[in-house]
Amino acid sequence: MSTVQTAGAAGVLERVRGSRLLWPLVALVALIAANAARNPGFLSIRLQDGHLYGSLVDILKNGAPTLLIALGMTLVIATRGIDLSVGAVAAIAGAVTCTTIVGSSDPTSPAAALTGIGLALALCLVLGLWNGFLVSLLGIQPIIATLVLMTAGRGIAMLITDGQIITVRNDFYREIGAGFLLFPISILIALAALVAVALVTRRTALGLLIESVGINPEASRLAGLRSRTIIWTVYVFAALCAGVAGLMISSNVSAADANSAGLWIEMDAILAVVIGGSSLAGGKYSLSGTLVGALIIQTLTTTVYSMGIAPEVTLVFKALVVIAVCLLQAPKVRERFRRRRRSQDPTSPSSPSTSGSLAPEEDSPAPTAHEPAGDAASDSKQKVAQS
């Protein structure tokens, strides 16, 4: 299946290899177009009582938590890490806030909500510090270090809510996830965070330092970078993003559900990052890619939902999308296209899988010249990263 797809795409890919963001954008536009074709009302947006309404607005609103978490995840992935605990952290944030609100003297007051939010974010900060401690100081593999909190975190959330679904009636709190300021407040928060991160990482040297750590932590340390501090910081940031996203999720339904709040959202966030063109191997990252990736995932979910298919089936589509995107971006596949294109050359290595994987790193120009694919890929990646 993939071969058919890829062969057809080869020609196009050759022309547009300048941008890694192009394919995700094409996918997003195609998804929206398909929806619009099926349901002409899909694109319509109307203004009522100072709120925008419409399917596109819903996509933005529902996609906000994923986008926010994916934002934190992008930076974590750029340092060669991964944070599996974000879903659990989101659940904990919702649980803490709702229990605090319910337990306060006046559960409807903004003060109760603010106390809850403050407590929740403080706890998220601690959880982020914990993940960062395991990864940067103890040097435990990120996937496993955060697996600890992923497993235990839901238990902790259940502990906080005592296994109940806690519902709150607090208008102030409701605004975060369900409120509108012309646009949904949640997406405004998420976009503000995105812009802030973009400015901070690209206007200062933070982006370069994060990428350096991701590319080679030891070399970065020896160049005088505070690798540990940088790694630690991104985990704390990721946990805070997850916390705020957890607030959005719980605020949107005015309830804390320790079991299902943010379930699988870490996967959605990782998918968003990957679809956006950042490599899971760390290093160069693309924030705009993450934005597009998060929107694709949410649009996909909405599409499946509006087609009247059981929402759970979205998973199948997500799987197909992620495989397709990963294959399109895999250096290996790109290399093959290129070969096939210029391939009046029947003598190219008979088993590409062998030749690619074992060319020992060496100081000869041959391997260097041999990898135009990797070269072009990295070049384009760089362009994306700079955008």
Partner 1 sequence: MTDTPSTRTAQPGGPVSTGAPVVAMRGISMEFPGVKALQDVDFRLFPGEVHALMGENGAGKSTLIKVLTGVYTATAGTTQLQGGQVAFSGPAEAQAAGVSTVYQEVNLCPNLSVAENILLGREPRRFGSIDMAATRTRAEELLGRMGLTIDPGSILAEHPIAIQQLVAIARAVAVDAQVLILDEPTSSLDQDEVAELFRIMRHLRDEGVAILFVSHFLEQVYEIADRMTVLRNGRLVGEHLTKDLSRLQLVSAMIGRELGVLEEVERLAADASDEAGGTPVLEATGLGRRGSIAPFDLRIGAGEVVGLAGLLGSGRTELARLLFGADRADSGVVRVAGREVHLRTPRSAISAGIAFCSEDRKGEGILGDLSIRDNLVLAMQAARGWARPIPKRTKDELVEKWMTALDIRPNNPDALVGKLSGGNQQKVLLARWLVTQPKLLILDEPTRGIDIGAKAQIQKLVTELAAEGMAVVYISAELEEVARLAHRVVVLKDRSKVAELDGSASVDDIMHLIATSDSEQVAS
Partner 2 sequence: MTTTTPTKRTVPALSRLPGIPGRVLPVIATFVLFVLLFGAGSVRYEGFTSGQVFANLFIDNAFLIVLAVGMTFVILTGGIDLSVGAVVALSTMVAAAALRAGLPAPVVILLVLAIGTGLGVLMGLVIHHFELQPFIVTLAGMFMARGLCFVIGVESISIKDPFFRALATGTIELPGGVVITWSVVIALAIVAAAVWVLHRTRFGRTIYAIGGSESSATLMGLPVGRVKVAAYAISGLCAAVAGLLFSVYMLSGYGLHAVGMELDAIASVVIGGTLLSGGVGYVLGSLLGVLVLGVIQTLISFQGTLSSWWTKIAIGTLLLLFIVMQRLFMRRTP
Residues near partner 1, by CB under 8 A:
203-206, 208-209, 211-212, 215-216, 218-226, 283-284, 342, 347-351, 354-355, 358-372, 375, 378, 382
Among 197, 234, 270, 384, binds partner 2 (CB under 8 A): 270
As a whole number of angstroms, the distance between CA 267 and CA 62 comes to 16
Contact (Cβ atoms closer than 8 angstroms) between residue 136 and residue 231: yes
CB 172, min distance to partner 2, A: 30
Element (H, E) at 140: none
Q: Which amino acid is at 155?
A: G
Our CB check for partner 2 shows the closer of 101 and 300 to be: 300
As a whole number of angstroms, the distance between CA 217 and CA 229 comes to 12
The alpha carbon dihedral of 154, 156, 162, 166 has a sign of negative
Among partner 2, partner 1, none, partner that 167 touches (CB below 5 to 8 angstroms by kind): none
CB 272, min distance to partner 1, A: 22
With binding defined as CB under 8 A, does residue 312 bind partner 2? yes
Q: CA torsion angle for 96, 104, 250, 290 (degrees, to 10)?
A: -60
Our CB check for partner 1 shows the closer of 10 and 119 to be: 10
With binding defined as CB under 8 A, does residue 17 bind partner 2? no
Among 20, 284, 318, 338, binds partner 2 (CB under 8 A): 318
Q: How many residues does the chain have?
A: 387
With binding defined as CB under 8 A, does residue 314 bind partner 2? yes
DSSP 3-state percent helix, strand, coil across the chain (nearest 5): 75, 5, 20
As a whole number of angstroms, the distance between CA 17 and CA 31 comes to 21
CB 316, min distance to partner 2, A: 3
DSSP secondary structure letter of residue 54: S
For partner 2, which stretch binds (CB under 8 A), given 54-62, 110-118, 290-298, 318-326? 318-326
Q: Scanning residues 325 to 354, which ones bind partner 2 (CB under 8 A)?
A: 326-327, 330-333, 353-354
With binding defined as CB under 8 A, does residue 313 bind partner 2? yes
For partner 2, which stretch binds (CB under 8 A), given 34-42, 186-194, 285-293, 357-365? 357-365
Among partner 2, partner 1, none, partner that 276 touches (CB below 5 to 8 angstroms by kind): none
3-class state of residue 143 by DSSP: helix
Among partner 2, partner 1, none, partner that 284 touches (CB below 5 to 8 angstroms by kind): partner 1
With binding defined as CB under 8 A, does residue 249 bind partner 2? no
Please, is 353 exposed, middle or buried when counting C-beta atoms within 10 Å of its C-beta (0-12, 13-18, 19+)? exposed
CB 378, min distance to partner 2, A: 15
With binding defined as CB under 8 A, does residue 239 bind partner 2? no
With binding defined as CB under 8 A, does residue 374 bind partner 2? no
Among partner 1, partner 2, none, partner that 270 touches (CB below 5 to 8 angstroms by kind): partner 2
With binding defined as CB under 8 A, does residue 149 bind partner 2? yes
With binding defined as CB under 8 A, does residue 238 bind partner 2? no
For 83, 163, 165, 269, 374, the CA distances from 101, given in Å and listed in that order, are 28, 17, 13, 28, 53
Among partner 2, partner 1, none, partner that 144 touches (CB below 5 to 8 angstroms by kind): partner 2
As a whole number of angstroms, the distance between CA 262 and CA 288 comes to 23
From first CA to last CA, the distance across the chain in angstroms is 33
- How is residue 66 written in tokens? 């994923």
Please, is 342 exposed, middle or buried when counting C-beta atoms within 10 Å of its C-beta (0-12, 13-18, 19+)? exposed
Binding site for partner 2 (CB under 8 A): 2, 82, 134, 138-141, 143-145, 147-156, 158-159, 162-163, 267, 270-271, 274, 280-281, 310, 312-320, 322-323, 326-327, 330-333, 353-354, 356-358, 360
